[in-house]
A = this chain, B = another copy of it.
Amino acid sequence: MRIVVAECSAIYTGRGDTKLGKYTRAIIIKDDGAISIHNDKSNKPLNYMGKGSKFTETVHEVTGELVWAFDSRKESLTIILHNVISDSAFELGLEDAGLERDGTENHLQEWIAAHPSVLGEGFQLVQREYPTGSGPVDLLVLDENGKPVAVEVKRVAMLGAVDQASRYVEALTNTESETIDFSEVRGMVAALDIRPNTVKLADKRGIRYCIVPSSWRE
C-alpha cells in the first residue's frame, strides 16, 4: 500500500463525469491496483478506480507536474500532482482472511426457513429462493389454510420491500404449477424492523407483514 499526500487535481470520466479542484489530499494505491483519493472528511473516497486499470505516469510538458492516468475499459481517472508532500509505502500482505459477517439478511432468511411458525400459526416452508418470473422470492411458504405466501425478508423493511413483495405476487399469480395453486397467492414482508410508512403501504396493498423478534439469533 502506497500513500501519497499531495496537492492535486483530478478528472474522472466514465459512468459519470467529475472534476476535483486543486487541494491537498491523500492518494492511496493498494497492492491489487485499486486507487482512491481522500480528503479529510468521511470514509468514502472522492475519486477512485477499481483494480485492473492501466497506469501511466507522464510529466506535463509545460508545468513539469506529474500526471497519473488510470484507464480501464470504460473509465479513466487522471490525477495531476501539483505538489507532493509525502510518499510512503507499507507492506501489508495479501493473505488477509477478510471480514466474517453474522446476522446478515441471509442468516435471517435461513432462520425463518427453519422456524416458519414465526410468520404465523401453522405456516410451512415450501422453498427458499423460489423462482418467479420477476426474480426469486426469498421464501415461499404455505399459510394455515395451505395457501401460498411469497415472503420478502429484510433486516429493515422500507417501501422497496413492499414493492418487491407486490412484484412477486404479481409474477406468481397465474403461474402454472403441478403442486401449488397460485391463483390466491399473497405477499408478506418479514423483518426485524418495519417502518410506519412501510406498514401503511403494505396494508394498502394487502401485503401482510411480520416482525421477527430481535432475539432471533438465540
Q: Is the CB of A32 within 8 A of B21?
A: no
Which of chain B's residues have a CB closer than 8 A to the CB of A163?
160, 163-164, 166-167
The prevalent SS among residues of A at the interface is mixed
A96: chain B residues at CB < 8 Å are: 23, 25, 39-41, 46
Are B30 and A42 interface neighbours, CB within 8 A?
yes
Shortest C-beta distance, A192 to chain B (Å), equals: 10
Residue of B nearest to A48 (CB): B43
- Across the interface, do A97 and B21 meet the contact criterion of CB distance under 8 Å? yes
How many chain A residues touch B (CB < 8 A): the figure is: 64
Residue contact B40 to A51, C-beta cutoff 8 Å: no
Give this chain's copy count.
2
Q: Are B93 and A18 in contact (CB under 8 A)?
A: no
Asked whether A43 lies within 8 Å of B38 as measured between CB atoms, the reply is no
Chain B neighbourhood of A170, CB < 8 A: 204
Assess whether A102 is in contact with B40, with CB atoms less than 8 Å apart. no
Which of A84-92, A117-125, A183-191 makes up part of the contact surface? A84-92
Residue A136, interface by CB 8 Å = no
Within the complex, the shortest CB–CB distance from A189 to chain B, in Å, comes to 14
Asked if A99 CB lies within 8 Å of chain B CBs, one says yes
Pull 13 A–B residue pairs with CB atoms less than 8 Å apart, ordered by A: A3-B3, A5-B90, A18-B100, A19-B99, A21-B97, A23-B95, A35-B43, A39-B98, A41-B94, A46-B99, A86-B88, A163-B166, A170-B204
* Residues of chain A at the chain B interface (Cβ within 8 Å): 1, 3, 5, 15-21, 23-26, 28, 30-32, 34-36, 38-43, 45-48, 50-51, 85-86, 88, 90-104, 134-135, 155, 159-160, 163-164, 166-167, 170, 197, 201, 204
